[in-house]
Amino acid sequence: MNKHISLAALLSFIFPSPALCADLASMRAADIPADIGVPSVTEPAAAADRYAKDWTVLVYVSARNNLGIEAIADVNEMEAAGTTGRVNVVAELGRIPGKPIFNPFASVQEEPPPQNDWTGSRRFLIQKDSDPLRVTSPVLSHDPDADLGDWRRLADFIKWGKSNFPARRYMLIVGGHGSGWRGVKPPPQNKGISYDDVSKNHISPAELAQAIKAGGGVDVYASDACLMQTFEVIYDLRGAAEYVVGSQETTPGTGYNYGLLLKRLDANPGDARTAADITVDAFVDYYHGQKQQSVTMSIARPDRADALARRLDAFARLVEASPADLKLFNQKKFGLRNFEDEDARDLYQLMKMYYENSATPAVSEAAREVIVALAEGVVVRNEAKGYKSKEAWGMSIHFPYFYMNYKERYEYLTLSRDTRWDEMIKASVNAPK
């Protein structure tokens, strides 16, 4: 299945139309003991060269969890491309030693990779090499116990990267585990994006936006993490990035194929939309094209989220006032697709259900208006390929299956404060059957 979402495609589908120190240049990451304190780069680039490069790609990877092995592989993939004349590749990797997955059917178990004893957080200017197992890029700073689940660490990384490696445009990729809106605070939850098992901290959707804005914003933000392409997250990212790339579904632990992505960006640096498209294409071509896996990946425009939120609010108020429409979700929910988060609905499919089944003209029309706002530019591209990707149209939203699945922490979200969506879904799941 190949979906390129557009207003025309969506509307014709349901409304048929007629017609990222000390001199360390020669010191490699493997040579640095765990307790060394290496100062970060502080000298800005010469003014004449300040914007000589098209892009600086800032990659922030929290592997202070069970992704320690995969994170080393990610940095090695970055080194397959490296920093070039057009693209700076800057990374922060925080990790604890990883354990290979035990395979009960194998007589010889997988060996830990080289450098698996690394701990703490290291920042690199990624240099190209031909060693797929060892990270050889110079370490520019090291913190033995940085909390990668603290949004202030992310903000500092963005500012550090942009100050020392300036370019015309910036892409930020945050990697690690992700769970969409569920990283909301309070109360503390050991989930969210960039979660850190050592500190028991994580970055919430609002903190993610706060970190990016504190760093001066980016042209493209991409989540190398699961379940992040939800409207609740996109709504918080207004003013933080022009384009947001992410998946509605869980993504492989191996994450982005950075070699493929960065090589393509170097070959065609283009504008922000071009970089967002390259990010999607590299993911889809690698996981679906080469590995034959089902994938979902989309591009969203957070600057257009306000209009969609207003229409969601209008829709929610109408449903709240209609007993029949409060019951409708419970009557039709098993016909709607779910993701690894069983309480995430595809927003387009959900609204299509209300449009087609509500007996209240105003509710049906309000659902249509949500679809129009979604299609008119919030989701500017959607790729859903493979048998597991049916009815994934690029944007998810929380609508729990059962009343016991509703969590009050949802009410702390910015979207919940600004709209009646939370009140409506709470009323719907508690409506008499």
Q: Which residue has the tokens 């009343």?
A: 403
Residue 125 has pLDDT above 80, yes or no: yes
CA atoms within 13 A on the CB side of 195: 22
- Residues 337 and 391 sit within 8 Å (Cβ to Cβ): yes
Specify the amino acid at residue 338: N
* Domain 20-303 grouped into CATH 3.20.20.80: no
Q: Which residue has the tokens 């800032």?
A: 58
Percent of the chain with pLDDT strictly greater than 90: 53
Give the pLDDT score at 402.
Answer: 84
Task: Please name which of 182, 198, 77, 187 lies closest in space to residue 208, comparing C-alpha atoms.
Answer: 182
pLDDT level of residue 416 (50, 70, 90 thresholds): very high
Residue 171 has pLDDT above 60, yes or no: yes
For the record, the structure tokens of 59 come out as 């990659």
pLDDT level of residue 6 (50, 70, 90 thresholds): very low
- What count of other Cβ atoms lies within 10 Å of the Cβ of residue 18? 3
Q: What is the pLDDT of residues 264-298, one digit of tens each?
A: 999 999 999 999 999 999 999 999 999 889 999 99
344-346 and 396-398: which strand pairing?
Answer: antiparallel
In 107-151, DSSP assigns E strands to 120-125, 139-143
Residue 352 has pLDDT above 60, yes or no: yes
Q: What is the pLDDT of residues 7-66, one digit of tens each?
A: 445 454 444 443 333 332 333 333 333 333 333 343 444 444 556 899 999 999 876 656
**Segments in 199-271 forming alpha helices (H):** 205-214, 231-236, 258-267
* Between 313 and 106, residue with greater pLDDT: 313
3-class DSSP assignment, residue 421: helix
Q: How far is CA 148 from CA 23, 141, 143, 187, in A?
A: 26, 14, 11, 19
Give the pLDDT score at 270.
Answer: 95
pLDDT level of residue 93 (50, 70, 90 thresholds): confident
Q: Where in the chain is the domain with CATH 3.40.50.11970?
A: 20-303
Counted residue by residue, the chain has a size of 433
Whole-angstrom Cα distance, residue 335 to residue 326? 17
241-246 and 218-224: which strand pairing?
Answer: parallel
Give the pLDDT score at 297.
Answer: 94
If DSSP states are collapsed to H, E and C, what string results for 290-357?
Answer: HCCCCEEEEEECHHHHHHHHHHHHHHHHHHHCCHHHHHHHHHHHHHCCCCCCCCEEEHHHHHHHHHHH
| Mean pLDDT of the 138-152 span | 86
Q: What are the φ and ψ backbone dihedral angles of 430, each rounded to 5 degrees?
A: -100, 5
Give the pLDDT score at 66.
Answer: 60
Predicted structure pTM score: 0.83
Give the pLDDT score at 176.
Answer: 58
| Mean pLDDT of the 75-87 span | 93
Whole-angstrom Cα distance, residue 195 to residue 189? 10
Whole-angstrom Cα distance, residue 328 to residue 433? 9
Residue 263 has pLDDT above 90, yes or no: yes
Give the pLDDT score at 8.
Answer: 43
How many angstroms from the chain centroid is the CA of residue 243?
A: 11
Q: What is the mean pLDDT of the chain?
A: 81
3-class DSSP assignment, residue 275: helix
For the record, the structure tokens of 333 come out as 């929910």
Question: Cβ contacts of residue 213 below 8 Å, gap of 6+?
Answer: 239, 240
H or E segment to which residue 203 belongs: strand 201-203
| Mean pLDDT of the 160-167 span | 96
Residue 102 has pLDDT above 80, yes or no: no
For the record, the structure tokens of 112 come out as 């830990």
Question: Cβ contacts of residue 69 below 8 Å, gap of 6+?
Answer: 98, 99, 100, 112, 113, 116
* Between 210 and 202, residue with greater pLDDT: 210
Task: Please name which of 401, 423, 400 lies closest in space to residue 411, comparing C-alpha atoms.
Answer: 423
Q: What is the pLDDT of residues 311-343, one digit of tens each?
A: 999 999 999 999 999 999 999 999 998 888 888
Q: How far is CA 325 from CA 191, 196, 311, 338, 405, in A?
A: 33, 41, 17, 21, 20
Whole-angstrom Cα distance, residue 159 to residue 148? 15
For the record, the structure tokens of 344 come out as 């995430």
Question: Cβ contacts of residue 105 below 8 Å, gap of 6+?
Answer: none
- Residues 318 and 353 sit within 8 Å (Cβ to Cβ): no
Residue 372 has pLDDT above 50, yes or no: yes
